[in-house]
Amino acid sequence: MANEKVLIICKDALTGQRLENEILAPAGYQVTFVSEGKPALDLLRQAPADLVFLSNSLLDGDGLEFGARLSERLPALPLVLVPTDLTPALAVQALRQGFWDCLPAAAPAADVLRVVEQCLGRRKRLRTWAQNEARRTSSSLQKRLDTVESLQQVGRSVTSMLDLDTILTAVVDAAVDLTGAEEGSLLLLDEASGELYMRASRNFQDDFVRKFRLPVRDSLAGQVIRTGKAITFDHSVPQKIKTSYLVHTLIYVPLQSHQRVIGVLGVDNRQSGHPFQDGHLALISTLADYAAIAIENARAYANVEIERKKLETILTRVEDCVIVVDNDGRLLLANHAAQMVFGLEGSLTAQPVANFMHHQDLLDIFQQSNPASYRTEINLDDGRIFSAQVTPIADVGVAATMQDITHLKELDRIKSEFVSTVSHDLRSPLTAILGYVELIERVGPVTAQQREFINRVQVSVHNITSLINDLLDLGRIEAGFDARKELTPFAAIIQSASETLALKISDKAQTLVIDTPGELPGVMGNPVRLRQMVANILGNAVKYTPHSGKIVVQARCEEGQIIFQVTDNGPGIPVTDQPYIFDKFYRASNVPSESSGSGLGLAIVKSIVENHGGRIWVESTEGKGTTFTVVLPVSTGESPV
Ligand code: ADP
């Protein structure tokens, strides 16, 4: 022993010096002697002592109280009271206040050294015990930490991995490692046979795992499936627990998914003397939850994959071309038909379309951003024509579905040609009929009834003639025969078209308001056709607006375009008819049967507008009125084509 540090705190210098110089220092102890409490505390803070002698009174206070406070702060520091006068009552009080021993200040040296050695011995034992205890606690903490880490790892693999085999094997491995069991297995219920099979295992023979089949009835695992409750047992004699193998100890917990038990996670020991511990059941339950989540995820993923494959097959098989491009102009999808038609060979997914798409019409679709869906035509160099439905899809990009309409276009052309030939051939006989009908009155008197019949013939022939004229016009416009264009003052066109309708307007006592700015730029176009376009729209307004109605014609120039509008307060057009009124021969359902017209006027208007690079649309509310809007590009001053 010796060389330990002893601190003497004593008011009486003689006692202190005797202890230091005559007893402790000669015995090899490093002694420090102070007579006040405060410097003693500072000393203890700087270098802890191994033992402290305290007298019952100090220069700056009561030694017993000081000792009591010291013992509270440093319970492993031996405190020995050395009063000048040691009574039994003082000794009892000192021990109660945390002193380890008491000695009279004048005790013989041998007694002092014996007490010192006893106290230091006890202190040593205390320290060893404390160290062992700390080691034991920290090793159990380490074990817990390892468990939490293993659980975390399994948890991470459940969320980050898609391979179910790997996850379930990791679950069984963790169950075995964390419980120290000999074997682990994950049994799943085969819905078809109603039996349990081993989906993952540890330390079972491969052959055993392959052949393992367990009925749900009459088996312990089956009981877990049926009741949804965990089972544990610990027997000194091995039990053939209807598992088809013998075990001493076992934990089986259910795997629950959507309130249904789908399997069992189990660990067991075939050898005796390996009992499971308290926390193991909770641990296996947590792992079972992880396994159930992984199985659920895998099933959900498999379902999504099946749906995705179905959609992919549909997209691949449809004969229409489908191309989807993302918002950055990169190809997301081109189905087989689109690849064939547009020559999109190789793996082009995620490539910018501008790098490989060579059809300008198609490229335009994906390069211009249009917030609404629309229909357009794509003309290929080999003469094929596709009708494209272009649909912007939020957060995805733009999808275009395209159908080959070449044959429809050809049919349309043949039909137009036929109509135009027949109309042309009908015109001469009709002119002859009109001529002869006019001659009837000249060759002799006619009765009033004959006069009436002649009038009816004339009106009918006029109607047929105007229908034929419309058909011929339409044929010519669609065939592009009016390609010659000149700078046409649009204000003059409006003026001239409204003058031709002045008589009809005054007959119906209608109000016509023409609202155009003093100066309107010219339009590069065919004046006859532009006048026909304005006259048709205005003529319809006059025709369909009742007696005393109001018609407003407006024209203005905005951003290089002429905006021409005709608004009336007539009967309006039912919403369901509005998409079709520009089709040939289409008349809205609210047109009275006696109202004259063939349904060709607006088809002619639309063709004229489109031939001039413009757009037309209608806004109408039934019972309130209609507005037709035409937008035409103004002349840029280039010479006429
Ligand atoms: P129509 O010879 O029948 O006037 P159009 O092609 O000129 O043929 O017009 C097609 C249909 O559009 C008309 O039959 C009518 O139903 C509707 N329509 C056109 N203009 C108006 C209008 N100003 N007010 C109400 N309906 C109109």
pLDDT per residue as tens digits for the range 516-557: 987 888 898 999 999 999 999 999 999 999 999 999 999 999
d(CA 53, CA 280): 52
Q: Which residues contact 283 (CB under 8 A, 6 or more apart)?
A: 147, 151, 175, 178, 179
CA distances from 87 to 11, 54, 56, 68, 83 (A): 19, 16, 12, 18, 9
What is the 588 CA–ligand 1 centroid distance (Å)?
7
Count of Cβ atoms closer than 10 Å to residue 358 Cβ: 10
Ligand 1 pocket mutation pick from 505, 540, 578 by most atoms within 8 angstroms of CB: 540
Contact 593, 603 (CB under 8 A): no
* Single-letter code of the amino acid located at 584: K
Determine the pLDDT at residue 637.
55
Q: Is the C-beta atom of 263 inside 6 A of ligand 1? A: no
What is the 605 CA–ligand 1 centroid distance (Å)?
11
Question: How many residues appear in the chain?
Answer: 641
Q: Is 39 exposed, middle or buried (0-12, 13-18, 19+ CB in 10 A)?
A: middle
Q: Is the C-beta atom of 571 inside 6 A of ligand 1? A: yes
> Regarding predicted confidence, which is higher, 9 or 137?
9
Which residues are 256's β-sheet partners? 261
Contact 280, 231 (CB under 8 A): no
> Where would I find the beta strands (DSSP E) of 133-205?
183-190, 195-202
Count of Cβ atoms closer than 10 Å to residue 197 Cβ: 17
Q: To which H or E segment does residue 453 belong?
A: helix 448-479
Q: Is the C-beta atom of 581 inside 6 A of ligand 1? A: yes
Q: Is the C-beta atom of 184 inside 6 A of ligand 1? A: no
Q: Is the C-beta atom of 465 inside 6 A of ligand 1? A: no
Count of Cβ atoms closer than 10 Å to residue 515 Cβ: 11
- Which residue in the block uniquely carries the two structure tokens 């040691």? 86
CA distances from 184 to 171, 172, 180, 249 (A): 9, 6, 10, 12
What is the 561 CA–ligand 1 centroid distance (Å)?
25
Q: Is the C-beta atom of 604 inside 6 A of ligand 1? A: no
3-class secondary-structure state, position 54 = strand
Contact 622, 574 (CB under 8 A): yes
Burial of 219-248, coded b for 16+ CB within 10 Å and e otherwise, reads bbbbbbbeeeebbeeeeeeeeebebeeebb
What is the 472 CA–ligand 1 centroid distance (Å)?
19
- Inform me whether the pLDDT recorded for 442 exceeds 60: yes
Ligand 1 pocket mutation pick from 602, 604, 628 by most atoms within 8 angstroms of CB: 602
Integer distance in angstroms from the first to the last C-alpha of the chain?
A: 121
- Inform me whether the pLDDT recorded for 1 exceeds 70: no
Q: Which residues contact 440 (CB under 8 A, 6 or more apart)?
A: 446, 450, 454
Q: To which H or E segment does residue 605 belong?
A: helix 601-611
Q: Give the pairing of strands 183-190 and 195-202.
A: antiparallel
Can you say how many angstroms the Cα of residue 373 is from the centroid of all Cα atoms in its chain? 23
Q: Is the C-beta atom of 430 inside 6 A of ligand 1? A: no
Q: Among the listed ranges 63-77, 241-255, 299-313, which one has the minimum average pLDDT value? A: 241-255
According to DSSP, residue 546 is labeled: P
Q: In 80-108, where does DSSP find H-type helix? A: 88-96
Ligand 1 atom at shortest distance from the alpha carbon of 603: 6
Count of Cβ atoms closer than 10 Å to residue 271 Cβ: 10
According to DSSP, residue 589 is labeled: T
Q: What is the pLDDT of residues 101-136, one digit of tens each?
A: 999 999 999 999 999 999 999 999 999 999 999 888
Give, using CA atoms, the residue closest to atom 20 of ligand 1: 540
What is the 600 CA–ligand 1 centroid distance (Å)?
9
What is the 567 CA–ligand 1 centroid distance (Å)?
13
Nearest to 322 by CA among 253, 390, 416: 390
Residue 641 confidence class, pLDDT cut points 50, 70, 90 = very low
Determine the pLDDT at residue 621.
96
d(CA 436, CA 39): 145
Give, using CA atoms, the residue closest to atom 23 of ligand 1: 541
Q: Is the C-beta atom of 250 inside 6 A of ligand 1? A: no
The top-scoring range by mean pLDDT among 195-199, 419-423, 425-429 is: 195-199
Nearest to 554 by CA among 483, 482, 604, 628: 628
- Inform me whether the pLDDT recorded for 638 exceeds 80: no
- Which residue in the block uniquely carries the two structure tokens 């193991």? 280
Count of Cβ atoms closer than 10 Å to residue 625 Cβ: 22
Give the mean model confidence (pLDDT) for residues 297-314. Answer: 88
Nearest to 329 by CA among 401, 396, 402: 396
Give, using CA atoms, the residue closest to atom 12 of ligand 1: 581
Q: What is the pLDDT of residues 4-33, one digit of tens each?
A: 999 999 999 999 999 999 999 999 999 999
Q: Is the C-beta atom of 570 inside 6 A of ligand 1? A: yes
Contact 58, 36 (CB under 8 A): yes
Contact 236, 271 (CB under 8 A): no
Q: Is the C-beta atom of 168 inside 6 A of ligand 1? A: no
- Inform me whether the pLDDT recorded for 479 exceeds 80: no
Which residues are 487's β-sheet partners? 524
Q: What is the mean pLDDT of the chain?
A: 89
Q: Is the C-beta atom of 78 inside 6 A of ligand 1? A: no
CA distances from 348 to 52, 369, 437 (A): 86, 22, 72
Q: Give the pairing of strands 331-334 and 374-379.
A: unpaired
d(CA 226, CA 241): 16
Contact 585, 470 (CB under 8 A): no
Q: Is the C-beta atom of 541 inside 6 A of ligand 1? A: yes
Q: To which H or E segment does residue 137 belong?
A: helix 109-160
Q: What is the radius of gyration, based on Cα positions, of the chain?
A: 53
> Where would I find the beta strands (DSSP E) of 270-360?
321-326, 331-334
Determine the pLDDT at residue 59.
83
